[in-house]
Amino acid sequence: MTTAAQLPEEVLALSARYSYIEMNARTRAGQLLDPGTFCELLGPFDRIESPWLPMQDIVPQSDDGCIVAKGTIDGKPAVAIALEGKFQGGSIGEVSGMKMATALALARQGCERGIPTRAVLSLESGGVRLQEANIGELVIAEICAELIALRQHVPVVVVVAGMTGCFGGMSLAAGLASYVVMTRQARLSMNGPEVIEQEAGIEELDARDRPLIWSICGGAQRHATGIADVLVEDDAAEIAQAVRALFKRGEPTHLRSAAHELYIERLAQLDPVQPWSAEQIREMWKDQTP
Amino acid sequence: MSRGRTWFEALAGGNSAQPNGPASLLLAEATLGGEKVSYLALAPDPQARFPRARGGEVGVEESWYGARAIQQIIEAGRNGAKRPILTIVDATSQAYGLREELVGIHLAAAALIAAYAEARMAGHPVIALIVGRAVSASFLVLCGQANRVLAFDDPQVLVHAMYKDATARITRRTVEELDALGESIVPMAYDIQSFNKLGGLHRLLHVAAPDAPNSEAVEQVKSALIDAIADARRGPHDLSSRLASQGAQQYRKASLAVRAKMAEQWAAL
């Protein structure tokens, strides 16, 4: 007697899916590039590590938590940059940040020489690495400068998948991007909830209230309010497909960071003395495209 | 009166606020070294619409209105003189609030950063003068994209990723331990001389009585700004002067190694 397993279709569909969130940064970078084209720059064997962490008795990592890989996306030259949320919270130190800034600069120089080079960033970061504080600040400024220079040539796509989230200096990078892709698990916000609670008090925000936090800066809310372009499932193939589709779309008609008229009008319509809910912002902004 | 407002008024004279813009955003046109320049600063406003941005923080309104003002300067200079943009920096931090996050303060801050960077790339000399605090995103937003950053050599001047008490809590150290670390680990130190060592500044200015400037001090600062504008015009429209500095040669060796080695590997592929 044989028993053929009768699994519901949704279970079969799930079992054919690979989680992007569970991938490490190196695998993610490979996932965003065309299969077989991943070529890592400044890989672990180059041993360029944080000079500052060992001075504070913290074990460094040989890629400093930032993976840079050259390859192609849809056959076009590309660079994928992925931050590792599991190393020092994806924080930006001198080496990890400089890898990102340099990769963006090299892509731009490629564009200027007639080789348009696409850039995709997979961001998981708590922001600047406090153990490298002021160099981190300088490097984040350089990342922003290079991202702004590069987006004049080619679209820059940011993926925020989770579970670390994208905060601080890297939230600025996401704000500067041509396109933002998020999962429901991802968060995109300037100040982390713990920082807001600490600076403004628990009456401003209770950092333990996870449903509230995701309602403010989770992928679904960011997509519904036009702060993210695409909302995807945690599916590696779907995320890579979304990135390819955005590069195919080309330059956005309007850069989100150039939408000052729209946001000035939006802010004027809100009363900052009243409490606001995420639903209210969704409702008010639903028909306005940035 | 905050130091930022004191120096804004001393250097720029009056203030011409943006239509309907926040009173915390100070903007003015003035003449400096025989040319028109634009000044910008943030200052506390106890009546500000956003309760979390009343202490001179970089908030959502300050950022979006500031971005619009700079985009208008770029537009006005498209076919003519590239007017210098001078920011007097004394800003506690970014605004920490639930409303701010709901409306995307990260995006507002990015918009102001992009405006400064686009002005710089278009050939406007973008100069930041740090007279007080430039901490966390207030450094990134107001100073990060400047061709040249000047700062007062004064104990009240602070550039850092985070205030000392918060850094201590998050890194699970005491304030005394942080002070000790700052002695040997230059990027963690809280004094402006240490920040200067990293190559982030064009010049440190020794100004007598920075809280109550006399006419001599104002002339001294104006002349430093004129020099910085001229220096910015002589150089490329990017941030390369920071990594090319003496300080970076000594304290950002890893940055320089990353840049050189990645370029080499990239070219070989």
Task: Note whether residue A141 is domain-resident.
Answer: yes
How many C-beta atoms lie closer than 10 Å to residue A1's C-beta?
2
Q: Given CB atoms, is B68 within the 8 Å cutoff of chain A?
A: yes
Residue B71, SS3 per DSSP:
helix
Owner of token pair 């003496």:
B246
Task: Note whether residue A101 is domain-resident.
Answer: yes
Task: Note whether residue A205 is domain-resident.
Answer: no
| High-pLDDT (> 90) share of chain B, % | 88
Q: What is the pLDDT of residue A274?
A: 85
pLDDT over threshold 60, residue A290: no
| pLDDT greater at residue A61 or residue B20 | A61
Per CB-CB distance under 8 Å, the chain B contacts of A103 are 262
Phi and psi at B77, nearest 5°, equal: -95, 5
pTM for this prediction: 0.96
Q: Tell me what ipTM this predicted complex has.
A: 0.97
Q: What is the pLDDT of residue B13?
A: 87
Task: Note whether residue A236 is domain-resident.
Answer: yes
Search chain A and give the residue with CA nearest B161.
A133
Please write down the HEC assignment for all residues of chain A. CCCCCCCCHHHHHHHCCCCCCCCCHHHHHHHHCCCCCCEEECCHHHCCCCCCCHHHCCCCCCCCCEEEEEEEECCEEEEEEEECCCCHHHCECHHHHHHHHHHHHHHHHHHHCCCCCEEEEECCECCECHHHHHHHHHHHHHHHHHHHHHCCCCCEEEEECCCCCECCHHHHHHHHCCEEEEECCCEECCCCHHHHHHHHCCCCCCCCCHHHHHHHHEHHHHHHCCCCCEEECCCHHHHHHHHHHHHHHCCCCCCHHHCHHHHHHHHHCCCCCCCCCHHHHHHHHCCCCC
- The pLDDT tens digits for B77-135 are 999 999 999 999 999 999 999 999 999 999 999 999 999 999 999 999 999 999 999 99
Task: Note whether residue A69 is domain-resident.
Answer: yes
pLDDT over threshold 80, residue A14: no
Write the CATH number for A74: 3.90.226.10
Search chain B and give the residue with CA nearest A134.
B187
CA distance B113 to B62: 12
Search chain B and give the residue with CA nearest A177.
B110
Which of B:121-160 have CB within 8 Å of A? 121, 136-137, 139-140, 143-145, 159-160
B18: DSSP letter: P
- Please answer whether residues B207 and B259 qualify as being in contact, where contact means their C-beta atoms are separated by less than 8 angstroms: no
Q: Given CB atoms, is B107 within the 8 Å cutoff of chain A?
A: yes
Range B220-223, long-range pairs (CB < 8 A, 24+ positions)? B221/B7, B221/B11, B221/B129, B222/B11, B222/B32, B222/B33
pLDDT over threshold 80, residue B19: no
pLDDT over threshold 60, residue B225: yes
- Please answer whether residues B42 and B90 qualify as being in contact, where contact means their C-beta atoms are separated by less than 8 angstroms: yes
Banded model confidence at residue A13, pLDDT cuts 50, 70, 90: confident
Task: Note whether residue A214 is domain-resident.
Answer: no
In the predicted model, what is the mean pLDDT of chain B? 95
Q: What is the pLDDT of residue A2?
A: 61
Q: Given CB atoms, is A260 within the 8 Å cutoff of chain B?
A: yes
Q: Given CB atoms, is A263 within the 8 Å cutoff of chain B?
A: yes
Q: Given CB atoms, is A255 within the 8 Å cutoff of chain B?
A: yes
- The pLDDT tens digits for B133-154 are 999 999 999 999 999 999 999 9
- The pLDDT tens digits for A36-61 are 999 999 999 999 999 999 999 999 99
Task: Note whether residue A151 is domain-resident.
Answer: yes
How many structural domains does chain A have?
A: 1
CB-count burial class (<10 Å; 0-12, 13-18, 19+) for B209:
exposed
Q: Given CB atoms, is B49 within the 8 Å cutoff of chain A?
A: yes
Query: What are the sequence ranges of the domains in chain B?
Result: 3-238, 240-269
Which of A:192-251 have CB within 8 Å of B? 195-196, 198-200, 204-205, 216-217, 225, 227
* Cα B33–chain centre separation: 21
Q: What's at A185, amino acid-wise? A: Q
Which of B199, B255, B265 is the closest to A42 by Cβ? B265
pLDDT over threshold 60, residue A1: no
- Please answer whether residues B237 and B125 qualify as being in contact, where contact means their C-beta atoms are separated by less than 8 angstroms: no
Mutate to test the interface with B, among A50, A147, A263, A266 (most CBs of B within 10 A): A263
C-alpha distance from B215 to closest chain A C-alpha (Å): 33
> What domain range includes position A60?
18-188+228-251
Q: Which CATH number fits domain B3-238: 3.30.379.10, 3.90.226.10, 1.25.40.10, 1.10.1510.10?
A: 3.90.226.10
Banded model confidence at residue B12, pLDDT cuts 50, 70, 90: very high
Residues 6 or more apart whose CB falls under 8 angstroms from that of B223 comprise none
CA distance A166 to A217: 10
Q: Given CB atoms, is A257 within the 8 Å cutoff of chain B?
A: yes
